[in-house]
Structure 1
Amino acid sequence: MPGETDRRIITELAARGYNADREAVTLLASEADPDDALERAVEAAPPDAFKITGEHLREVFEADARDSPRDPTAETPDSTSNTDPSISPAELEDRTTDSADTSPSETVGDDPTRTTDERVPTDPEHRFVEIVGDITGQSTGTGEYSDFVTVFRDRYERLAGKLRGRINHRPADAIQTMPGGGDAEMIGMVNDIRSTAGGHWLIELEDTTGVFPCLVMKDREIAELVGEIVYDEVIAVRGTLADDAGILFTDEIFFPDVPHTHQPTTADRHVQAALISDVHVGSQEFAEEAWSRFADWLHTAEAQHVEYLLLAGDMVEGVGVYPNQDEELSIVDIYEQYEAFAEYLKEVPGDLEIVMIPGNHDAVRLAEPQPAFDEELREIMSAHDARITGNPSTVTIEGVSVLMYHGMSLDEIIADLPEEKASYDNPEKAMYHLLKKRHVAPKYGGKMRIAPEEHDYLVIDDVPDVFHTGHVHKLGFGTYHNVTAINSGCWQEQTEFQKSVNIDPDVGYAPIVDLDTLDVTARKFT
């Protein structure tokens, strides 16, 4: 059956009880007769095998070639594709991007049965994927008080290092001994923020030597910045000591921030990545039809250059995540939810490189950083040999670094900051603040659960080229100091629980990033 798609190959193998790795699907799809190649691969599979691998197929095809050499004049069909221009953040409001409609078919090469509305398997040899910052297997926290001291000290030292080039820092205990009326500068972790009787703002900063109060007068321009500050983040201040040296009158506030001079890295060829999250298989409101349209589109020539699929958490709906959730489940067993998700994942092309991190609905610990899925769940989701890593992790693809974070802390940021600075309708603005603070979850002690580790895995040490989050079920994207920030919406219609908390989800969107330009196109499949 010439022109067979990867999706059909994966389905046929699954029907015979086999999974397949990416290379195997690519090799099968590139054969002149994929049906015949698939049958030969299955017949030659070891009796105890459950996965068809590229290595196995090469052995089968090499043996067949020795028995019956192929025609050296045979041609391989060329590949063509159609791409849409990117959508700017200003055009996000109408959210009417076309979904899976494709242009009329055209024949490809010398094969009259092969058409441009079919995806041509891509060559994995050009791909490069590297993952850093993964907590999986590295967790050392025991919950002891000393662990919390260690992680907050690590946070302070690393973020203070990003601020020391901007001010002449003096420790809190040194400032306490300085004469009144002089200038002083300090880097500290925000210990407290409160308004005074006169409407001014008092910020207590803590470093490794002590605590010092800093006053921001309400009539100063920097008073607006106080509304952006949250507990436990690290900032720097510059000002003048009171006559009794008991308080610092603050003139300037600095955040670790992304440098204005940051220049992102881009791929050296035209290649794209689809960024999605919050699939929520197992929910009665899982948008199955939208998912199928998305998967079908990935098999078309229009999606020819989409070689990466990055999923930022909440593969399944989970169990016991919120009150009365059991009344909204279509699948009540957590393992059966992952089995169903694995089946839906088989619908996407087998030659895609897939990277997945967990979210708060997934079967991993809730405290962040979250280790990746355990071996049992990895085995369930093994069909595409996806790369599975922790939350958060930085994934470098084709030289482009993508910070993947599920986004639990966005709730805290949106709740704490004024609506004009961060809201659910514009989740990318909340993401800008995390970049500004150089930490994906700065506030401790609210709804966020943070696991104490030897190192703070939630610090944004290196500036990413792309920042990808989910969790809030809203679509939003834009740029902050040349970092592309994307919150990718969801694949779950509004649940009764979401109605009760006024969440109106953006369903069935797939942001597509051109890795060579970092342009973003938001495709809609509902």
Structure 2
Amino acid sequence: MPLEAPARIVSELTSRGYNAEREAVTKLSSAENPRVALECVVETLPEDALVVTTDHVERALETAASSPVADDPAATDGSAPTDDSPPTPDAATEGTSDSPTPSDPSVSTGADASNPPAADGAAPVETKGGRETETETATGTTTETDRIERSVDPELRDLEIAGDMTGESTGTGEYEDFVAVFRDRLERLGGKLRGRINHRPASAIGNMGGGTDVAMVGLVNDIRSTASGHWLIELEDATGTFPWLVMKDREFAGLVDQLLCDEVLAMEGTLSDDAGIAFVDSMYFPDVPRTHEPSTADRHVQAALISDVHVGSQEFMADAWNRFADWLHTAEAQHVEYLLIAGDMVEGVGVYPDQDEELDIVDIYEQYEAFNERLKQVPGDLEIVMIPGNHDAVRLAEPQPGFDEELREIMSAHDPQIVSNPSTVTLEGVSVLMYHGVSLDEVIAELPEEKANYDEPHKAMYQLLKKRHVAPQFGGHTRLAPEEEDFLIMEEVPDIFHTGHVHKLGFGKYHNVLAINSGCWQAQTDFQKSVNIDPDSGYAPIVDLDTLDVTVQKFS
């Protein structure tokens, strides 16, 4: 097998239990004889080395011409290495999981993070890690698992990014920017509703006679209760506003407490005798169609969905991360070819009061350098996609552009794709909407506990899917940036909705969309304790892209 392609070099090194820096792979692929160079590198590596560095390659290339491997025909024609080559470790016995697809209502870890309950009383989801042996590494005593060769043909992979607004920000903070973003939201989400009702603009409804049947699509401008316990909802469109009264005894009155200001809504009803208000007969959300059929991959391939690594925190769970990275090298993880990280790679600096007292690394750039070292531990043949979060060194206002060039250069291990928050990544036909999840705090604070809570974060995600917007409420705790285009709209229905931020593990399906909040890699900090956050730490949800089944691997 020729080794000129960098992907082949990465695969060959991974099969021998090594990762590699991107620059090291580039030097190997450009060598006169890449296989001879690779053999020399492996033979001269220190015994405790896990990552092939540029220095390792440069030293090996200096002696490659005199290496005995250079005269071995088998080493130059793509055949197997000679008997003098380092042996490939035996593959670990493959372990599979028969965990059923979580049904609706969904699976969540709830309060017992160590044993997530199943949806219908069945056995809990898989929570085992890899087969472990203790070893000494540069980061201290950790565990290392049996490493295997991934039989991955890069040609089978297909990864596409949509909605990445990095470099596309046009907002200046002027009044016109705010008008533009709300007009875009109303036009695009309203378009999903106008075909369902006989829509009329607010100005036209105001000129109609009493008793007329009317319908309107607009932004929720205000929600308030009346003295009689009814609900008054004011809808706004480009022509003005109009009030709609929801009677407390109507069957859909329970939907009112699920509303957020600035979301797009459609209402049908009848004008009062004086035509000054409309009595609501029905209410519609943009929503995910109940007939939605998700796409799946054509082969058995898996993606690991994680978030909130928080390198730099004193509570970063290094041992759990080491076990996760080692597990990715085992036979049990041989089908994991994609790693999606939904923000908060590092702990950051100055994010919350007295954070400096909880930092292990106080310099933000050193935090990212440490994260990059952690990233080097995972197999080099994984496709990695990352978005920023509120602890990362990007603007806080959403949408958040991907990292600047300096930070991208630091986080270059395995050449990850770094895109904006939110973005949609399509893996072999399966679309995954990645959003860090700051708005979940607001949804949980505003809505009833049974509809949105921290122990079941996927339920709050259901509300965002219903509204087809990842952060609908403007002017609340979630910082939103005005742009000419609303990048936070769910224009297309995703097959998977992946968030983090709240440090709780939960997943389930809403109208056949798999919603996953992936927990974190940080133990409880003093700040989290003060605000009553009990994190679900050290979990890695693994999704079968051919079935959308979920297995949770536990490493804490």
Q: TM-score range by the shorter chain?
A: 0.7 to 0.9
1:365 to 395, 400, 421: 395
Query: Once the 2 structures are TM-superposed, how far is the Cα of residue 36 of structure 1 from its aligned partner?
Result: 3.0
Q: Distance in 2 between matches of 1:228 and 1:247?
A: 22
Query: Once the 2 structures are TM-superposed, how far is the Cα of residue 101 of structure 1 from its aligned partner?
Result: 3.8
Change (3 A) 1:469 1:31: farther
1:12-411 pair list within 5 angstroms: 18-20=23-25, 35-36=39-40, 38=42, 68-70=72-74, 81-86=94-99, 88-89=101-102, 92-93=108-109, 94-95=115-116, 97-102=126-131, 118-120=148-150, 122-411=152-441
Q: Which runs of 5+ in 1 are unaligned?
A: 42-48, 105-114
Change (3 A) 1:136 1:4: closer
Deviations 1:376-419 (A, max 9, x none): 00000112100000000000011110000000100010001000
Deviations 1:326-365 (A, max 9, x none): 1100000000000000001111000000000000000000
Matched with 2:531 is 501
Query: Once the 2 structures are TM-superposed, how far is the Cα of residue 20 of structure 1 from its aligned partner?
Result: 3.8
Matched with 2:479 is 449
Change (3 A) 1:209 1:182: same
Query: Once the 2 structures are TM-superposed, how far is the Cα of residue 182 of structure 1 from its aligned partner?
Result: 1.3
**Contact 2:464–2:471, Cα closer than 8 Å, also in 1:** yes
Query: Once the 2 structures are TM-superposed, how far is the Cα of residue 100 of structure 1 from its aligned partner?
Result: 1.8
**Contact 2:265–2:286, Cα closer than 8 Å, also in 1:** yes
Q: Distance in 1 between matches of 2:107 and 2:425?
A: 28
Change (3 A) 1:116 1:348: closer
Query: Once the 2 structures are TM-superposed, how far is the Cα of residue 52 of structure 1 from its aligned partner?
Result: 10
Query: Aligned to 1:70, what secondary structure does the other structure show?
Result: helix
Matched with 2:3 is none
Q: Distance in 2 between matches of 1:405 and 1:472?
A: 12
**Contact 2:383–2:416, Cα closer than 8 Å, also in 1:** yes
Q: Distance in 2 between matches of 1:3 and 1:181?
A: 76
**Contact 2:321–2:521, Cα closer than 8 Å, also in 1:** yes
1:9 aligns to 2:18 (yes or no)? yes
Matched with 1:44 is none
**Contact 2:271–2:279, Cα closer than 8 Å, also in 1:** yes
Amino acid at match of 1:69: P
Q: Where has structure 1 moved over 2 Å in runs of 4 or more? A: 2-10, 17-24, 30-41, 49-53, 64-69, 71-83, 85-99, 101-104, 115-123
**Contact 1:266–1:399, Cα closer than 8 Å, also in 2:** yes
Query: Once the 2 structures are TM-superposed, how far is the Cα of residue 83 of structure 1 from its aligned partner?
Result: 2.2
Q: Distance in 2 between matches of 1:335 and 1:87?
A: 42
Change (3 A) 1:470 1:452: same
Q: Distance in 2 between matches of 1:353 and 1:3?
A: 16
- Provide TM-score, normalisation by structure 2: 0.83
**Contact 1:232–1:444, Cα closer than 8 Å, also in 2:** yes
**Contact 1:217–1:223, Cα closer than 8 Å, also in 2:** yes
What's the % identity of the aligned pairs?
Answer: 67
Query: Once the 2 structures are TM-superposed, how far is the Cα of residue 31 of structure 1 from its aligned partner?
Result: 6.8
Matched with 1:107 is none
Amino acid at match of 2:18: I
Query: Aligned to 2:282, what secondary structure does the other structure show?
Result: strand
Query: Aligned to 2:189, what secondary structure does the other structure show?
Result: helix
Change (3 A) 1:520 1:333: same
Amino acid at match of 2:387: I
Query: Once the 2 structures are TM-superposed, how far is the Cα of residue 126 of structure 1 from its aligned partner?
Result: 1.2
Q: Distance in 2 between matches of 1:20 and 1:383?
A: 11
Change (3 A) 1:32 1:295: farther
Change (3 A) 1:209 1:346: same
Query: Aligned to 1:253, what secondary structure does the other structure show?
Result: strand
Aligned length: 494
Query: Aligned to 2:551, what secondary structure does the other structure show?
Result: strand
**Contact 2:130–2:330, Cα closer than 8 Å, also in 1:** no
Deviations 1:454-478 (A, max 9, x none): 1000000000110000000000000
Amino acid at match of 1:413: V
Amino acid at match of 1:368: E
Query: Once the 2 structures are TM-superposed, how far is the Cα of residue 70 of structure 1 from its aligned partner?
Result: 1.6
1:470 aligns to 2:500 (yes or no)? yes
Amino acid at match of 2:74: R
Query: Once the 2 structures are TM-superposed, how far is the Cα of residue 6 of structure 1 from its aligned partner?
Result: 6.0
2:544 to 498, 514, 523: 514
Change (3 A) 1:259 1:401: same
Query: Aligned to 2:289, what secondary structure does the other structure show?
Result: coil
Query: Once the 2 structures are TM-superposed, how far is the Cα of residue 102 of structure 1 from its aligned partner?
Result: 4.0
Query: Aligned to 1:510, what secondary structure does the other structure show?
Result: strand
Q: Distance in 2 between matches of 1:127 and 1:499?
A: 42
Query: Once the 2 structures are TM-superposed, how far is the Cα of residue 67 of structure 1 from its aligned partner?
Result: 6.1
Amino acid at match of 1:204: E
